């Protein structure tokens, strides 16, 4: 799994927010960078992550197909299998990165949040609601207000 870690300049362990990009995007998208900076300004750390078939993990054929799956109502069996595998692998990856970062001294392991950009937020949201370590999870769009999201998460992870 590839990602970028943004740390708050405040001293001591800080809550962590895992951020997943929209399908067809990646961890370096402008909306994600803006959100990471807003979170750090509010005293939170942030990890911008590429899920399977995103960013550095993209596949010309499968990434496009996954995007089509996320935006249509009717799927064939192969589409359903691709989507199910994306959800499964995303959950494994998010749990692994949470575990890896939770051991860092600057992270408050009991205060984990998640922001999942649409389309494709279902993968991170499905993981977050099943993970006891995650205290907050918000869906977002590219035009969401990063300052508002950061304030909401600061309150929820306090």
Pairwise CA distance, residues 107 & 13, whole Å: 5
Banded pLDDT at 39 (limits 50, 70, 90): very high
Give the integer Cα–Cα distance in Å for 136 and 115: 8
d(CA 38, CA 145): 10
Evaluate whether 6 touches 40 at the Cβ level (below 8 Å): yes
Is a pLDDT exceeding 80 seen at residue 1? Answer: no
Distance CA(18)–CA(100), nearest Å, equals 12
CA 62 to chain centroid, in Å, comes to 20
Which residue range forms the structural domain that includes residue 93?
Answer: 2-157
Per-residue pLDDT tens digits for 131-140: 999 999 999 9
- Give how many domains the chain has, as a whole number: 1
The CATH number for 149's domain is 3.40.50.1820
Each residue of 81-102: pLDDT tens digit? 999 999 999 999 999 999 999 9
**Residues 44-86 pLDDT 10s:** 999 999 999 998 998 988 988 888 888 777 788 988 899 999 9
pLDDT band at 155 (very low <50, low <70, confident <90, very high): very high
Indicate whether 33 pLDDT > 90: yes
Q: What is the pTM of this model?
A: 0.93
Q: What is the mean pLDDT of the chain?
A: 93
């Amino acid at each position: 799994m590839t990602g970028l870690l943004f740390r708050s300049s405040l001293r001591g362990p800080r809550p962590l927010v895992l951020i997943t990009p929209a399908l067809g995007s990646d961890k370096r998208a402008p909306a994600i960078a803006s959100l990471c900076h807003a979170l750090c300004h509010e005293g939170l750390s942030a990890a911008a992550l590429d899920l399977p078939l995103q960013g550095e993990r993209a596949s010309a054929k499968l990434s496009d197909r996954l995007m089509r799956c996320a935006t249509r109502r009717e799927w064939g069996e192969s589409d359903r299998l691709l989507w199910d595998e994306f959800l499964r692998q995303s959950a494994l990856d998010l749990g692994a990165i949470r575990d890896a970062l939770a051991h860092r001294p600057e992270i408050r392991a009991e205060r984990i949040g998640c922001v999942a950009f649409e389309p494709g937020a279902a993968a991170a949201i499905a993981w977050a609601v099943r993970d006891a370590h995650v205290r907050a999870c918000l869906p977002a769009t590219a035009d969401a207000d990063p300052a508002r999201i950061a304030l909401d998460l600061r309150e929820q992870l306090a």
